[in-house]
Amino acid sequence: MASSETAFAEAHRARGLAPFLRSQMRNIAPFLTLIFLSAFFAFASPSFATLDNLGNILTQVSVTGIIAVGLTFVILCAEIDLSIASIANVTGIAVAYFTLQESYVNIANVPLPGAVAIVLSILLCALLGLVNALGLTVIGIPSFIMTLAMMQIAAGISALLVRGQIAYKVPGLITTLGSGSVSGIPWIVIVAAIMLLGGHLVLTYTRFGRYVYMVGGNREAAEYSGLNVKLILGAVMVISAVCSGIGGMLGVAHFGSAQQNEFDTYLLDSIAAVVVGGTSLFGGRGGIGNTIVGLFVLGVLNNGLDHVNIDSFLKILIRGLILLAALIINVYAQRLREKAAE
């Protein structure tokens, strides 16, 4: 019985290389992009392919990486979170707000012990995520709109907390994790790696992770299977906000200051990392592995462009074009897969 079954499975799987590659396009294309970009920059600039520079790239993508963990959950559910950068920003500002600042910093802040400051900040971002979740599931506002509003709300809270000023001090633990290093490896890289690994384990090996994929794959079927779809959607919105908050706190320590609009570029970067990596915008396909590849594509691109000699204004356009190419591949990969499954 068992052996005949494997023979059957084998026969079904032995469908030739071409269809297999077609169905795996989503995973292969980003990887090829990464190899191509790396080879190109290594060729174009001697300072690119060095161990030091690899360290730079890793550090540069860390904050994006931390934020992208939560966003991967959201996009796997076929939703979107546009408030990630604002929530990162407000959480970073909050943790500074609850820390004693130097006397020249002109903010009416509330100094608290470090641990309390951290806990309160995390509660704040979790709360904002919960508001996103309730708007999406209870009221039924599309996530695109709901999180657009949250983007403004979080920016508004940030503005009220710092009132145009800049704060510098954050709790010691956050300073260490954001800007310290252990035997040469920056803590922030380690934190990003741990969170990415954690996200991967949750998505691959837990019941909740399976639910995320199933809800993203076919929401109607998930409901007819008796899953609590709203609860799962709500949970991913909160996870996304908390990851953003952690990224924001460490980011503030990493940059050395907390101020308004500090994280604006992280919205696009995080979405780009997830999508360039091959996670389907239609939900249900992809994962943290894809996000990691996407992070590297983005990191290599941003870093590599600084190593070659081109007009810095042209760089922005080049980035845009490469992102467009990746998006086209993302959408095509979906179609090719459907064809391969035909």
Using rule CB under 8 A, residue 76 touches other proteins = no
Q: Which of 52, 102, 220, 311 binds other proteins (CB under 8 A)?
A: 220
Residue (4 or 309) nearer to other proteins, CB = 4
Number of residues that bind other proteins (CB under 8 A): 37
Rounded CA-CA distance 212/223 in Å is 12
Straight-line distance from the first to the last Cα atom of the chain, in angstroms, rounded to the nearest whole number = 28
Using rule CB under 8 A, residue 210 touches other proteins = yes
Using rule CB under 8 A, residue 223 touches other proteins = yes
Q: Which of 87, 94, 128, 229 binds other proteins (CB under 8 A)?
A: 229
Rounded CA-CA distance 152/83 in Å is 8
Within a 10 A sphere around the Cβ of 96, how many other Cβ atoms? 29
In this structure, which long-range contacts are made by residues 160-163, counting pairs with CB atoms below 8 Å and at least 24 apart in sequence? 161/90, 161/93, 161/94, 161/97, 161/107, 161/109, 162/93, 162/97, 162/107, 162/258, 162/259, 162/260, 163/107
Contact positions with other proteins (CB under 8 A) in 318-337: 337
Using rule CB under 8 A, residue 307 touches other proteins = no
Q: Which of 10, 52, 102, 311 binds other proteins (CB under 8 A)?
A: 10
Q: Which residue stretch of 204-212, 242-250, 291-299, 310-318 sits at the interface with other proteins (rule: CB under 8 A)?
A: 204-212
Q: Which of 224, 309, 311, 313 binds other proteins (CB under 8 A)?
A: 224
Q: Which of 168, 193, 230, 255 binds other proteins (CB under 8 A)?
A: 230
Whether the CB-CB separation of 200 and 212 falls below 8 Å is answered with no
Phi–psi pair at 106, nearest 5 degrees: -95, 65
Q: Which residue stretch of 24-32, 48-56, 88-96, 222-230 sits at the interface with other proteins (rule: CB under 8 A)?
A: 222-230
Using rule CB under 8 A, residue 5 touches other proteins = yes
Using rule CB under 8 A, residue 140 touches other proteins = no
DSSP 233-287: HHHHHHHHHHHHHHHHHHHHHHHT-B-TTTTHHHHHHHHHHHHHTT--TTSSS--
The token pair at 322 is: 């490469």
Using rule CB under 8 A, residue 17 touches other proteins = no
Q: Which residue stretch of 65-73, 79-87, 106-114, 224-232 sits at the interface with other proteins (rule: CB under 8 A)?
A: 224-232
Q: Is 280 left (phi over 0), alpha (psi -120 to 50) or beta?
A: beta
Smallest distance, other proteins to C-beta of residue 13, A:
7
Binding site for other proteins (CB under 8 A): 5, 8-16, 205-207, 209-211, 213-214, 217-218, 220-231, 284-285, 337, 341-342
